[in-house]
């Protein structure tokens, strides 16, 4: 038996007026998901425990079978693992976004106009992070380059204030004055703006009509993670296929394979076929379980790209679900779990804690599922109060 999770990040949503009162899942043409859904176990799963933030870190840990209340130590430490940072027990990691900030004179009056700096390329971003390493120095702090706009700042041997840090995608378009971190982080952010706004990379981006990556935004702090090995916890060798450091970091922390996929971007232009090929390769070479993470629906939700979110769901169905199921049919018995990690409603442009819809299809069994795979169609199915029970349900051999 082979097991696959297709994680459609942020796919679930609320009804949208522009879609005739439908959610993007309802508006999307998804014949392959719908076909699986008709014979699947369906329902809703609460992937974000009460009192915890609905981040992709917490929600993906849940779907992977790790209780966030036990295993979660922060988002950035997981990303640090992915890019090869060796964290000591006393270190603290912070996510360092490259963002586009407005040009208001006072820093406190600025707004974040784009939390991802126009999807800056990894090559461009590396130049900016390297520049900050040389010119924005603080004892005990070091920058590490990641992918696109996602990077890390590591604090070693530094006494840090206790404070809340706000994700930039939660406050896009709003004045940042009420969401600023304490020193020394605020000073570093201010200095980064002074350093980056005229950097040649940004000058070229502006000349080309692109948004500049003219500031850093620090958030997602946490300490070294301590995940149980997936193979030991669930008795199956696994792999995670993703474009983003967060998921790769979870995979590395859990002792799973994390194959690189050329052209995987985390957006609509990602290499869908490459992800399917990497998943199949893992299943043919020692893995019993593969977790395919696709970021595009979430990014479209954050950006209020209504048509883009519908298209992202349709592309997953056409270019991932359909071809992958065809291949699995040739390999033997299999089970597929399809679900979001959390909702990313277009109306709010940020994450929500609502229970997420799921289907689990077993090629050897038939269940009374639902005619289509949507938020509403699965409400009468199974309800999982603990999202981490999804993995147990997927892998249950009874």
β-pairing, 141-147 vs 112-114, is unpaired
Backbone angles phi, psi at 3, to 5 degrees: -125, 135
**Looking at residue 177, what DSSP letter applies?**
G
205-255: pLDDT as tens digits: 999 999 999 999 999 899 988 899 999 999 999 999 999 989 999 999 999
Whole-angstrom distance, CA of residue 376 vs CA of residue 23: 10
**pLDDT over threshold 90, residue 161:** no
Half-sphere exposure of 366 (CA within 13 A, CB side): 2
Q: In this model, does residue 170 exceed pLDDT 80? A: yes
End-to-end Cα separation, the chain, in angstroms: 13
User: What tens digit of pLDDT does each residue of 292-342 get?
Assistant: 999 999 999 999 999 999 999 999 999 999 999 999 999 999 999 999 999
Measured CA to CA, the distance from residue 331 to residue 123 in angstroms comes to 38
Q: Which domains does the chain have, with CATH numbers?
A: 2-73+226-395 (3.40.720.10), 92-222 (no CATH)
pLDDT at 396 over 70: yes
Picking from 7, 17, 19, the residue whose alpha carbon sits closest to that of residue 311 is 19
Cα atoms in the 13 Å half-sphere on the side-chain side of 8: 34
Instruction: Locate the DSSP E strands across the chain.
Output: 2-8, 41-45, 92-101, 112-114, 141-147, 150-155, 215-222, 238-241, 289-294, 334-339, 356-362, 382-384
| Average pLDDT of span 380-384 | 97
Peptide bond into 184 cis (omega under 30): yes
CA-nearest of 147, 149, 351 to 264 is: 147
How far apart CA 352 and CA 365 sit, in angstroms, is 33
Average pLDDT over residues 62-79: 93
CA–CA separation, 363 and 365 (whole Å): 6
Q: What is the pLDDT of residues 339-359, one digit of tens each?
A: 999 999 999 999 999 999 999
pTM given for the model = 0.85
Whether pLDDT at 76 is above 60: yes
Instruction: Using pLDDT thresholds of 50, 70 and 90, give the confidence band for residue 398.
Output: very low
Q: Using CA of residue 222, residue 223, residue 224, residue 225, what is the dihedral sign?
A: negative
Residue 94 contacts residue 163 (beta carbons within 8 Å): no
Locate tokens 């301590």: which residue?
A: 226
pLDDT confidence band for 397 (50 / 70 / 90): low
Instruction: Indicate the SS3 state at residue 24.
Output: helix
State the average pLDDT over residues 59-80.
Answer: 93
Q: Which two tokens stand for residue 115?
A: 């939390």
DSSP 371: S
Cα–Cα dist 148/141, whole Å: 21
Mean pLDDT score across all residues of the chain = 95
CA gap 23, 357 in Å, rounded: 13
Q: Dihedral of CA 68/69/75/77: which sign?
A: negative
Q: For 155-159, 194-198, 302-306, 369-373, which range has the lowest pLDDT when averaged over its residues?
A: 155-159
Rounded to whole angstroms, how far apart are CA atoms 143 and 103?
24
Q: Which tens digits make up the pLDDT trace of 117-137?
A: 999 999 999 999 999 999 999
Residue 141 Cα distances to 92, 138, 231, 309, angstroms:
10, 6, 35, 38
């Amino acid at each position: 038996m082979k097991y696959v999770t297709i994680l459609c990040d942020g796919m679930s949503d609320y009804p949208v007026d522009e879609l005739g009162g439908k959610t993007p899942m309802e508006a999307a043409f998804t014949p392959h998901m719908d076909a699986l859904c008709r014979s699947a176990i369906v329902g809703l799963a609460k992937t974000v425990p009460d009192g915890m933030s609905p981040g992709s870190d917490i929600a993906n840990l849940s779907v992977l079978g790790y209780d966030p209340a036990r295993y979660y130590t922060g988002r950035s430490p997981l990303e640090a693992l992915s890019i090869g940072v060796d964290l000591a027990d006393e270190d603290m990691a912070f996510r360092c976004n490259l963002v586009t900030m407005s040009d208001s004179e006072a820093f406190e009056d600025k707004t974040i106009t784009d939390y991802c700096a126009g999807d800056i390329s990894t090559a461009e971003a590396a130049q900016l992070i390297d520049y900050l390493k040389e010119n924005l120095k603080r004892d005990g702090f070091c920058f590490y380059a990641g992918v696109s706009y996602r990077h890390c700042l590591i604090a070693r041997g530094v006494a840090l204030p206790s404070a809340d840090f706000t994700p930039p995608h939660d406050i896009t378009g709003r004045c940042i004055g009420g969401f600023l971190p304490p020193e020394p982080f605020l000073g570093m952010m201010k200095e980064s703006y002074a350093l980056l706004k005229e950097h040649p990379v940004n000058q070229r981006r502006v000349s080309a009509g692109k948004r500049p990556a003219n500031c850093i935004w620090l958030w997602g702090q946490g300490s070294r993670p301590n995940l149980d090995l997936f193979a030991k916890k669930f008795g199956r060798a696994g792999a995670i296929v993703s474009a983003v450091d967060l998921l790769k970091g979870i995979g590395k922390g859990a002792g799973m394979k994390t194959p690189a996929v050329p052209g995987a971007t985390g957006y609509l232009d990602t290499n869908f076929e490459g992800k399917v090929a990497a998943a199949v390769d893992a299943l043919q070479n020692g893995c019993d379980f593969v977790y395919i993470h696709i970021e595009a629906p979430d990014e479209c939700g954050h950006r209020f790209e209504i048509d883009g979110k519908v298209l992202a769901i349709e592309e997953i169905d056409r270019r991932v679900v359909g071809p992958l199921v065809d291949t699995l049919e040739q390999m033997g018995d299999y089970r597929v779990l399809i679900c979001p990690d959390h909702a990313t409603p277009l109306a709010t442009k940020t994450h929500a804690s609502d229970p997420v819809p799921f289907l689990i299809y077993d090629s050897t069994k038939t269940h009374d599922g639902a005619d289509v795979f949507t938020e509403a169609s699965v409400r009468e199915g199974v309800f999982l109060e603990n999202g981490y029970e999804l993995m147990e349900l997927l892998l249950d051999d009874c």
